[in-house]
């Protein structure tokens, strides 16, 4: 534990400051959810800052950890990470500011000020996307000590970029019956703010584009966790190359899942009410993942047999 704490102390300072600030905001927003009776688009007005703050805690810690894996410092990567911090602070400042004003931060063009702030948020996310792309390029060009872990980091960054891309249809949607000044929506086939899943709020009556965005973004944590679990439980039975190939299979499957739930949402289906086509596509994805994993393990077994015979 001491070793982990010592390593964390040297992690990218701006990212860790962001994590600390977002942890504090998480507490503040949680109190707001409990104490502030105001409701916006069917949810407590502090729910959005709470969810975004938690997300930025996970995002910042994960990126700082990834940077710590580099065998030597990269000025380009560190500057990109600092730019990510600046854009995150800008976005959260607007989100909290709009809550204090009692109005929506996203899809809101009701007034000149609201429209300007929403445009600034859009620009901030575009810059953040570009900065994370720089991180992905730097990490893809540097060799990491563990091959499976290296693949997990690179694929996590790549699939999380896909998670950002699948969120763009929210901006382009023109929901029927939306209040004046609202342009964009995360729900498909139903108005925003209807019945939703507990905590997450994803629509239970129509499609919800936040699902694919959520799934894709958390590839940053899911794929490194896959590599860690493979090493922890199968490290003695599987060599590094086999574990790396299984991570590649997992990354492809995770990207496929991100696209699948996004397509499901675009077709107006709630996450928990897929139709036959969605279930068939999910079945194909599961079968393809299982087949690819089996082929990787069979190839490893053949290599082991050749070595024993030799």
CA angle 262, 209, 39 (to 5 degrees): 160
Residue 14: pLDDT band (50, 70, 90) is: very high
Q: Tell me, what's the pLDDT at 308? A: 44
pLDDT digit string (tens) for 188-215?
999 888 899 988 889 999 999 999 999 9
Average pLDDT, the chain: 91
Q: Assess contact for 228 and 243: CB atoms under 8 A.
A: no
Q: Tell me, what's the pLDDT at 83? A: 97
Query: Which percentage of the chain shows pLDDT scores above 90?
Result: 76
pTM score of the predicted model:
0.90
pLDDT digit string (tens) for 98-124?
999 999 998 888 899 999 999 999 999
Give whole-number Cα distances, 9 to 3, 13, 53, 61, 268, in Å: 10, 8, 22, 12, 46
Residue 183: pLDDT band (50, 70, 90) is: confident
């Amino acid at each position: 534990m001491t070793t982990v704490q010592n390593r964390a102390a040297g992690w990218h300072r701006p990212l860790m400051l962001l994590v600390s600030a977002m942890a504090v905001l998480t507490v503040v927003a949680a109190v707001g959810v409990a104490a502030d009776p105001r409701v916006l688009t069917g949810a407590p007005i502090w729910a959005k800052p709470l969810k975004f703050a938690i997300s930025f805690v996970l995002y910042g810690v994960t990126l700082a950890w990834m940077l710590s894996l580099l065998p030597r410092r990269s000025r380009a990567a560190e500057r990109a990470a600092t730019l990510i911090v600046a854009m995150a602070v800008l976005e959260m400042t607007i989100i909290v500011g709009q809550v204090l004003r009692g109005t929506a931060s996203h899809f809101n063009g009701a007034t000149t000020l609201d429209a300007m702030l929403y445009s600034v948020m859009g620009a901030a996310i575009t810059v953040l996307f570009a900065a994370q792309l720089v991180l992905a390029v730097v990490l893809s060009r540097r060799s990491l000590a563990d091959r499976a872990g290296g693949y997990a980091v690179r694929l996590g960054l790549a699939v999380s970029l896909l998670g950002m891309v699948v969120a763009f249809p929210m901006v382009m949607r023109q929901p029927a019956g939306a209040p004046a000044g609202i342009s964009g929506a995360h729900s498909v086939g139903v108005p925003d703010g209807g019945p939703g899943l507990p905590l997450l709020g994803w629509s239970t009556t129509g499609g919800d584009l936040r699902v694919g965005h959520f799934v894709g973004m958390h590839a940053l944590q899911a794929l490194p966790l896959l590599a860690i679990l493979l090493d922890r439980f199968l490290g003695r039975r599987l060599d590094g190359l086999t574990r790396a190939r299984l991570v590649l299979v997992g990354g492809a499957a995770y990207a496929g899942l991100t696209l699948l739930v996004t397509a499901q949402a675009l077709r107006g289906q709630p996450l928990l009410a897929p139709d036959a086509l969605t279930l068939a596509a999910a079945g194909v994805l599961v079968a393809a993942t299982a087949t690819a994993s089996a082929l990787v393990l069979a190839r490893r077994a053949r290599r082991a047999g050749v070595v024993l015979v030799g």
